[in-house]
Amino acid sequence: MGKLRLVLGDQLSPDISSLRDASKKDDVILIAEVMEEATYVPHHKKKIAFLFAAMRHFAQELKSAGYTVRYAALDDPLNQGSLRAETARALEDHPSLTQVIATKPGEWRLLQDMELWADILPVPVDLREDTRFIVPLKAFNAWAEGRKQLRMEYFYRDVRRQTGLLMDGDQPEGGQWNYDSENRKRLPKSMTTPQRFLPKPDALTQDVIALVAERFPDNFGDLDPWVFATTRAGAEEARDHFLSEILPGFGDWQDAMARGEPWMWHSLLSVYINCGLLDPLDVCRRAEAEWKAGRAPLNAVEGFIRQIIGWREYVRGIYWLKMPAYAELNTLNAHRPLPDFYWTGETDMRCMAEAIGQTRRHAYAHHIQRLMITGNFALLAGLSPAQVNEWYLLVYADAYEWVELPNTHGMALHADGGLMASKPYAASGNYISRMSDYCESCSYDVKQRTGAKACPFNFLYWDFIDRHQERFKNNPRMAMICKSLDRMQPSERAAIRAEAEKFLDGLRLKTL
Ligand code: FAD
Ligand code: DLZ
Ligand code: SF4
């Protein structure tokens, strides 16, 4: 009377709901590397290698704990290539199994498919909720019900109250809910960034890297240098290193960017949290303990915890509340194809070259690079949301649609018309110059708005405001900037339009 328990690549947690009540004696746990998941977008090589290596290590972890694990490797000649077909094959090979149990996936497209399995497979299918999040989807929907605006800040305060994190009774520790205003420092020239925990690949991971190099030679990105842990113990070491060495500086430099500095004081933990190697609430409790012990300041710890219990939970809630229509929205009517340099990193814009270059190398960029460099450019240039969303989904090792889509479509591109953010995150070169040292070595001049040397973020910014003035002039947070545009000389406005048109028409598209 055993059951088949399917565990997906981003469900590598021993307490995942599909393994609740699992029998070591009777049940079979299925983990499968399949071409369908590896190719539904052409993922960064490092993303595939990280996930396959973590899946193989998790299979070993379960076997050591006494479970029967069936592992389908990608290069197994019998591998059927899809999760559904691998599940069917496992049932054929184990005819005594009476049920399939799985935790719901993190992407709408796969949930649609898995909801059909009960009609296709020869045994009943039990699809369970993913309980690794702090706020169940039902509770999020109840919070959202009847609200005109779904603002993260109010949601976040509720989750603080619910978890008790950084709470003094019913009041926030330190008297403020949010210390973001203290978290916007530019990196001083004299400051050096901390050493990071970047583990070398073990033998199992090296085998997977070789497999990915052979099977996905043309995918985006580099496999070398390796930067990720692929075991639970390794992810815990990365977490502990972050908490003791990096967290104290997390707040101050959260929005800063610097040349040749891919990590700054960011945690690099999303990749582990999203695939289940680390538990989000546990990471937050440990961060809170650092503050309580006096080892990390409140602005750092509050800022870090807010990203996880606030933003991470909130974007997940929005995704499941609004899909599938959400992905189709294109409020700003943006249709320009993605330029070639999103793949090559070859552009004279230093900021873009830095953000895309490290994305190619590491399958990682930190939040401000994703939002205010590549995201900001895509917004200002009117790039097609579908193409930009696909790019973000495939280039980052932490990307699954439930978290990638609201961040890209909503936060960066404003394609949802303001559901996620009350104003677009549009910025000129001035912001990038203030928060980084990129402009110092750029061939464009951040102070110029028009002319051959003008920073593209400047004319694209004003052209963006110009194109969307009608929409934004009644938005209280955009009214001032719309008025500044009105005060501009018509000749300058025309020059900006012409500059933007010339630049955008000159963008090279991907040559396949
Ligand atoms: P830190 O800066 O150290 O933050 C701590 C943790 O907070 C992260 O590990 C992550 O778990 C969480 N977090 C922070 N910001 C967010 C956010 N906006 N939404 C959800 N969780 C957050 N994050 C992903 O996990 N996957 C994605 O595919 C993804 N795509 C993004 C696309 C765009 C356009 C933007 C603007 C943001 C995106 N983010 C995504 C959010 C954020 O950029 C990453 O979570 C973060 O850069 C991961 O690096 P880190 O672990 O060093 O984060
Ligand atoms: C991202 C990914 C990749 C590259 N490969 C697999 C795989 O072979 N097997 C698997 O179970 N999961 C994989 N994943 C993760 C899934 O795509 C992920 O579970 C869904 O997108 C839902 O979030
Ligand atoms: Fe980027 Fe403009 Fe600065 Fe160059 S000058 S780095 S393009 S913001």
Label each residue of 352-372 as H, E or C. HHHHHHHHHHHCCCCHHHHHH
Residue 418 Cα to ligand 3 middle (Å): 27
DSSP 8-class letter at 165 = T
Token pair 């199994």 is found at 97
Residues 83 and 87: their CA atoms lie apart, in Å, by 6
Share of the chain above pLDDT 70, in %: 99
For ligand 3, atom 3, name the residue with the nearest CA: 439
Q: CATH 1.10.579.10 region(s) of the chain?
A: 341-505
* pTM exceeding the 0.95 threshold for the entire prediction: yes
Q: Is the CB of 4 under 6 A from ligand 2?
A: no
Average pLDDT over residues 331-335: 97
Two tokens, residue 119: 């009609």
Amino acid letter, 289: A
Q: For the ranges 175-189, 335-349, 444-458, which has the lowest average pLDDT? A: 175-189
**In this predicted model, what pLDDT tens digit does every residue of 25-51 receive, in sequence order?**
999 999 999 999 999 999 999 999 999
Residue 288 has a pLDDT of: 98
Closest atom of ligand 2 to 105 CA is: 22
Mean pLDDT of 166-174: 96
Domain 137-202+227-322: give its CATH code: 1.25.40.80
Residues with CB under 6 A from ligand 3: 349-351, 429, 432-433, 438-439, 442, 444, 446, 455-457
Query: Mutate which of 350, 373, 448 to test ligand 3's pocket (most atoms within 8 Å of Cβ)?
Result: 350
Angstrom distance (rounded) from CA 418 to CA 149: 9
Residue 10 Cα to ligand 2 middle (Å)? 6
Sheet holding 125-128, edge to edge: 68-72, 28-32, 4-6, 100-103, 125-128
Secondary element (H or E) of residue 495 = helix 490-505
Task: Return the pLDDT at 392.
Answer: 98
| Closest alpha carbon to 55 in 86, 85, 78, 23 | 86
| Confidence check: pLDDT of 512 > 80 | no
pLDDT bracket for residue 188 (50, 70, 90): confident
Does the C-beta of 7 come closer than 6 Å to ligand 2? no
Q: Is the CB of 8 under 6 A from ligand 2?
A: yes
Ligand 3 center to residue 464 CA distance, Å?
Answer: 17
Query: Among 90, 118, 104, which Cα is nearest to 31's?
Result: 90
pLDDT in tens, 455-467: 999 999 999 999 9
Ligand 3 centre to CA of 443 (Å) is 8
511 confidence band (pLDDT: 50, 70, 90): low
Beta strands 68-72 and 28-32, pairing class:
parallel
Stretch(es) of the chain classified as CATH 1.25.40.80: 137-202+227-322
Residue pLDDT, tens place only, 248-281: 999 888 899 999 999 999 999 999 999 999 999 9
Between residues 190 and 435, the one the model is more confident about: 435
Q: Of 239, 246, 307, 405, which is best to mutate to test ligand 1, by the most ligand atoms within 8 angstroms of its C-beta? A: 307
Output the furthest CA–CA distance in the chain (Å, rounded): 79
Question: What's the pLDDT at 148?
Answer: 82
Centroid of ligand 1 to alpha carbon of 170 (angstroms): 28
Confidence of residue 184 (pLDDT cuts 50, 70, 90): confident
* Mean pLDDT to the nearest integer, 213-226: 98
Q: Give CA–CA dist 381/502, Å, rounded.
A: 12
Tell me the CA–centroid distance for residue 374 and ligand 3, in Å.
Answer: 12
Query: What is the complex's ipTM, to 2 decimals?
Result: 0.99
Residue nearest atom 7 in ligand 3 by C-alpha distance: 349
43 touches ligand 2 (CB under 6 Å)? yes
Cα 21 to the center of its chain, rounded Å = 31
Distance CA 145, CA 135 (A): 15
Place of tokens 């993303």: 47
Residues 91 and 177: their CA atoms lie apart, in Å, by: 51
Q: Which atom of ligand 2 is nearest to the CA of 74?
A: 8
Those residues whose C-beta lies under 8 Å from the C-beta of residue 373, and which sit 6 or more positions away, are 257, 351, 352, 354, 355, 365, 432
Per-residue pLDDT at 182: 82
pLDDT digits (tens, 9 = 90+) for 483-509: 999 999 999 999 999 999 999 999 987
Question: What does the pLDDT average to over 385-404?
Answer: 98
For residue 72, list its beta bridge partners.
32
Q: Averaged over 403-410, what is the pLDDT?
A: 98
Structure tokens belonging to residue 419: 């559901």
Nearest alpha-carbon partner for 327 in 269, 449, 413: 413
pLDDT at 189: 82
| CA 375 to ligand 1: nearest atom | 34
- Averaged pLDDT, 193-219: 96
Q: What is the pLDDT of residue 506?
A: 93
| CATH superfamily for domain 4-128 | HUPs (3.40.50.620)
Outline which parts of the chain fall under CATH 3.40.50.620.
Answer: 4-128
Asked whether 307 lines ligand 1 (CB < 6 A), one says yes
Specify the DSSP class assigned to residue 173.
Answer: G
Q: Does 385 sit in the ligand 1 pocket, CB within 6 Å?
A: no
Number of the ligand 3 atom closest to the C-alpha atom of 438:
6
Asked if the model's pLDDT at residue 510 lies above 70, the reply is no
Q: Which residue's C-alpha comes closest to atom 48 of ligand 1?
A: 270
**Which is the closest atom of ligand 3 to the Cα of 455?**
2
Q: Ligand 1: which of 197, 245, 407 to mutate, judged by most atoms within 8 Å of the beta carbon?
A: 407
CATH class of 341-505: mainly alpha
Pocket test for ligand 1, best of 133, 197, 270 (most atoms within 8 A of CB): 270
